[in-house]
Amino acid sequence: MAQNAKARRILLGSAAAVVVVAGGAGFMVHSMLDPEALRTKAIAAIEKQTGRQVRMGVPDLHLLPSLSLSVRDVGLSDMAGGAYADMVTADRLEATVGLMALLHHEIRLDDVKLDHPVVHLERTAQGQANWRLSPAGPQATATAQPATTQAASDWKVQIGSIRVANADLDWDDQMTGSKGKVVLDHANLSGVSGEKPQIDIAGHNDGGAFTLTGYTGPINLTSTARSGWPVALNAAFTSGGQPVGQVALSGSVADPDHMKGYNLALDGSIASLKAIEAVVPGLNLPDVRRLSLRAKVVDGSAADKEGSTPLLDSLHLDTRAVDAGPYVTGLTLQGLSIDAPGPKDTVTIRTQGQWEGQGLKLSGTLGSLQQVEAAVLSHLSDPLPLSLDVSGDPGSMRIAGTLGGSRAVVNVTASAGHLALPHGAGIDHLEASTHLVSEDNGAHFQLSDIAVKSTQVSLQGALDLSVHGGHDGVPLLAGTLDASWLNADALMAQGAKADATGVTAPAQETAAGDTLPFAELRKQDVDLRLSVGQMEFEGDDYHNALTHVVLRNGRLTIDPIQAQGTGRSISGQLTVDASGSVPTISGTIGTLVLPATWVESRAGLSNMVQGALQVVGTGRAQGNTRTELRNSMTGHMGVSMVNGTVSGSALGAMLGDTARGALGSGPIALRCFGVHMDMADGRANIDTIGVQTNALTVTGHGTVGMVTQDLDLHLVPQVLIGGTGASLPLRVGGTLSAPRPKMDAGSDGRYAIGLLLGGSGKNTAIADPCPATLKAAREGQPGPQPTTAAPRAADASTSGGAAAILGNSKGAPNLKKAAGLLKGLGILK
């Protein structure tokens, strides 16, 4: 009995204990499952683990079939100073809750589903990234009373798996300039709290679609460094429903939160990099086709330094077509190969393609991968050995030596059978070489032993460039170039070709184009001496040419300008002072020879004449624009030419439409041309005008607006056709581009029409304006004379001479011919 009673007491006591424990456990579970209490604990735990503020609605709990919750309006705040209020938001979160984990102050969420999340990723130019989370950061703000928060902060949140659908992801990386936006169709993460969480992501945008699969090391919400964090990811891209590339990344990262201590292998095969850029915008990738890449990338930065420095441990790159135009104008590569098996192995380069329509090949070495990376990261402060051979249609070039470092030495040799230059010019049978030395970590360059030999030029010399050697630390270029022979006509870039009429429309100046780049003169200093033993220029031969170009602090001086030619000596000096706010141009020209097309294009004129213009005079102007310079120009100038050509079309427009018919529209041989003027108050006052061809002589005077180009010319043209000639005074108004000629009456209102009537069979010279015109236009300086004699006409049969007033031509045997000529010129109706 006693034993039975004892057994009953034990049983009753045990039952009572079970009831008490069960009751206490039930109370605890009820307490823990209070929605508001659970919300408070979750917010406090996440804020402690991330250092960010958390926003979420009150959870809606469900006990069956298993414990689960749903929460509306979920958000995680952005970093301090970020572009958005929240880095992550979602309309709704659903998840199952681990009941037993609650007993250990842990909120374990499995099968987390996010409804339409929006994720903003950003990194500043200083490298601050909003995806880097830090525990108990300064942003964490209690959402409950301090005591409650303190208790809740002992809790942790663990996530088992995540499923996301229809997510918007955008990024703005100001460090790399990458910016874009994609839609994630799904993003499934399983085993999130495990050692190798699995990743399955698919997304798209208007350019195409992509997938990302694989695994990484443990994903935690803190930034605690992890050693040997594994990575094995595979990305695939499609555009227009067609695959365009795939990339595999594998290896390990010591500190994934800061992307430091990585050792990764990259293996990719991409049909088009531009197509990848369309799928994942903001990458700014070059246009490369059929790229194959294998590389090993390691973090070369110190462990205690912010940021990382990616270094290549090995590299194999092979491509087909590469559009290199954005980097080197006119360059397209048909293939590119770069190889370096290890960090200490030589980098070999091979490529072929076209530059400016000409084929080329390049092969050579660049030192080891370590040396290339060190030179790039130090901006060539570290030395880089190289040996490159370039060959192609124009010729070949070899560059060998060492770039960068405190002292770099490179030898350059080049040769070409024919090297095409812009605008149809070229160099034939070229052989060139030089020795380049760079010192002071690239702050000082010397080009010595410069030697250039070709059909068009033969020169030698040396150049010196100090990057900070000029005033206020601007670059300074100094040196001497001596040419024994120079064919300037063959080397000069020619302007736009004249059309069939010999006339090219002048370039139109826009408001923006009217401003001249004087400020560029303050960014560079120059001290160059140039000499030429023999020179061919505009069809003439010159010798002992010499000039000295000095530019310092915005003041450019070219003095002397000298050369000895046939029948004339070139001399002068020019100064452009842009050191102040209002630039000044001044010069004295004893004689200067310039191509007529070059002068006319700078003056905004059509190509009326072609040949060598001899310019003399003095002038001064100031201003920042062409308009200001022309308005302020003062001085005197003469311009002359012999043995050139003049456009019949342009000359006819100046003299009248009917004269154009008599002269023709093509180029006309020009025996002489001369103009002399004084410049002041925005006008050129022309005291001498003279032109002579085999069929036409023009003399006159007048004024031209320097800016408006309005005309007020008084001309006396004399046209000679078949031994018969006529002249009449014209007054030309309008503008240079649109002249308006009309007959010019004398003070008595009558038109002084002159006739030249031939018929005796004897030749008589027409009045030759060339001697007086050239003397005035050259201001007494010597110059070549016309190589042809003045045109001649048959003697007039009228007694006493060939010139007559129209009313006095009665009885002349060639009166009918003269009348026809006058009608053709519009003089008679």
219 token code pair: 């994903």
Helix (H, G, I), strand (E, B) or coil at 409: strand
13 token code pair: 């006591």
Q: How confident is the model at residue 153 (pLDDT cuts 50, 70, 90)?
A: low
The pLDDT assigned to 282 comes to 67
Q: Can you tell me the distance from the alpha carbon of 28 to that of 6, in angstroms, rounded to the nearest whole number?
A: 33
**Neighbouring residues of 413: CB distance < 8 A, sequence distance ≥ 6:** 397, 398, 432, 433
Amino acid letter at 74? V
Of 532 and 381, the one with more pLDDT: 532
Peptide bond into 560 cis (omega under 30): yes
Q: How confident is the model at residue 306 (pLDDT cuts 50, 70, 90)?
A: low
Q: Are 393 and 360 in contact (CB under 8 A)?
A: yes
Of 358 and 335, the one with more pLDDT: 335
Place of tokens 């020795």: 435
The pLDDT assigned to 781 comes to 92
Place of tokens 């069809």: 539
Q: How much of the chain exceeds pLDDT 70, in percent?
A: 80
The continuous run of DSSP H or E covering 15 comes out as: helix 2-32
Q: Can you tell me the distance from the alpha carbon of 370 to that of 352, in angstroms, rounded to the nearest whole number?
A: 26
Whether residue 76 is predicted with pLDDT greater than 80 in this model: the reply is yes
Amino acid letter at 344? K
The pLDDT assigned to 419 comes to 82
Q: Which of 762, 503, 531, 505 is nearest to 646 (CA)?
A: 503
Q: How confident is the model at residue 659 (pLDDT cuts 50, 70, 90)?
A: low
Q: Which of 763, 781, 489 is nearest to 640 (CA)?
A: 781
Q: Can you tell me the distance from the alpha carbon of 497 to that of 376, in angstroms, rounded to the nearest whole number?
A: 45
Q: How much of the chain exceeds pLDDT 90, in percent?
A: 39
How many CA atoms does the CB half-sphere of 214 hold within 13 Å? 16
40 token code pair: 């408070």
Taking residues 155-163, what's their average pLDDT?
79
766 φ/ψ angles, rounded to the nearest 5 degrees: -75, 150
Q: Can you tell me the distance from the alpha carbon of 528 to that of 479, in angstroms, rounded to the nearest whole number?
A: 5
The pLDDT assigned to 388 comes to 95
Instruction: Specify the pairing of strand 106-115 against strand 68-77.
Output: unpaired
Q: How far is CA 733 from the centre of its chain?
A: 44
Peptide bond into 65 cis (omega under 30): yes
Q: What is the mean pLDDT of the chain?
A: 81
Taking residues 782-808, what's their average pLDDT?
57
The pLDDT assigned to 814 comes to 44
Taking residues 760-772, what's their average pLDDT?
68
Give the pTM: 0.64
Q: Can you tell me the distance from the alpha carbon of 531 to that of 584, in angstroms, rounded to the nearest whole number?
A: 27
Helix (H, G, I), strand (E, B) or coil at 756: strand
Q: Which of 646, 750, 639, 630 is nearest to 687 (CA)?
A: 639
Q: What is the CA radius of gyration of the chain?
A: 44
611 token code pair: 């040949």
The pLDDT assigned to 399 comes to 95
Question: Residues 600, 602, 605, 607: what is their CA dihedral angle, to the nearest 10 degrees?
Answer: 40
First to last CA, the chain: 162
Instruction: For 257-305, write each residue's pLDDT tens digit.
Output: 667 788 999 999 999 888 887 787 767 788 899 999 999 999 877 666 6
Helix (H, G, I), strand (E, B) or coil at 383: coil
Whether residue 200 is predicted with pLDDT greater than 70 in this model: the reply is yes
* DSSP bridge pairs for 562: 546, 571
Q: How far is CA 328 from the centre of its chain?
A: 10
672 token code pair: 């002489």
